[in-house]
Amino acid sequence: MKFISGRCLIVAALALAPLVAQADTLPQVSQVAMRSTDNLPVVDKVVVHKAERKLELLQHGTVVRTYKIALGLNPIGTKERSGDFRTPEGSYRLNRRNPRSDFFLSMQVSYPNEADLKHAKRNHWDTGGSIMIHGLPNQLKHDPSYYESRDWTDGCIAVSNSDMLEIWLLVPDNAPIEILP
């Protein structure tokens, strides 16, 4: 998915507008749509810094966008098995999009990779899976401030809904993602 002009971003944002169910994101759709006209970054890599709770979009090694993130409930260390509530660390791809997930948009991380599978096999563990970058739950179980102030996922990388919309629009299919400690 590449964008040639700002008009494509506007069309994409407007097309996704019906998916924006949370009140806090409705004003953000127009802000994202009107932010740029012709010089949208062509993102070629995503980098997550777990310790800093930061996700970066890169273009030719230069950071073009930065977002605040939440991680799994047990954020220290890499994901080893199903149910450990950790976010994986390593090199992956964003290999699938889901506009109808239980969260506001989601992009699947290609966890587990070969190294993850070998490690789990040696220890007779189930690696788990379904690691995503996503927005807030479609059905909030807590006050919105809860999601802003703590790690709350089962191992995914969560961002605000407005940030998720921008990531969805700027990151191409199969983009590499590096998740660092």
Tell me what the mean pLDDT of segment 173-181 comes to. 97
Model confidence at 41, in pLDDT bands (50, 70, 90)? confident
> What's the pTM value of the predicted model, to 2 decimals?
0.80
- Kindly report the CATH class assigned to 41-180: mainly beta
Q: Cis (ω within 30 of 0) for the bond into 112?
A: yes
pLDDT tens track for 125-140: 999 989 999 999 999 9
User: Cα separations (Å) of 4 from 37, 57, 90?
Assistant: 10, 18, 31
Q: How confident is the model at residue 39 (pLDDT cuts 50, 70, 90)?
A: confident
Contact 128, 67 (CB under 8 A): no
Q: Which residues contact 54 (CB under 8 A, 6 or more apart)?
A: 48, 66, 67, 68, 69
How many Å apart are CA 55 and CA 167, to the nearest integer? 10
* Cβ neighbours, 10 Å, residue 158: 26
